[in-house]
Amino acid sequence: MVRNGASMIERWFFYQDVANLWKWARIDVFGTVLSYSAVAFVSRDDCVEDARRSGYREEPARTASVATRVERRARSRSPLPTRY
């Protein structure tokens, strides 16, 4: 997620480590880690809840635009010519 702040743009990342535990990190536009989860979580929901306590706010999912892009791409492909 990318959010515009007063003077910077920050991104929140949710990821799984090698032990399959969830962590989060907040990074600025220059790649500097501003904050990160102090503990790892078994579920992604618990991780997101911890990030919310640190200022994370979810934006609505943009599923319609993604679906539209996939639809357009699927329609633009022409069928393969058949040769006998």
Q: Is residue 84 included in any domain, yes or no? A: no
pLDDT one-digit tens code per residue, 5-39: 544 688 999 999 999 999 999 999 898 999 999 99
pLDDT surpassing 60 at residue 77: no
Burial group, residue 50, by CB count within 10 angstroms (0-12, 13-18, 19+): middle
Q: Is residue 82 included in any domain, yes or no? A: no
Q: Is residue 68 included in any domain, yes or no? A: yes
Q: Is residue 63 included in any domain, yes or no? A: yes
Q: Is residue 43 included in any domain, yes or no? A: yes
Average predicted confidence (pLDDT) for the chain: 76
Give the whole-number percent of the chain exceeding pLDDT 70: 60
Do 51 and 12 contact (CB within 8 A), yes or no? yes
pLDDT surpassing 80 at residue 3: no
Q: Is residue 37 included in any domain, yes or no? A: yes
Number of domains in the chain: 1
CA separation for the pair 48, 13 (Å, rounded) = 10
The range of the structural domain enclosing residue 50 comes to: 2-76
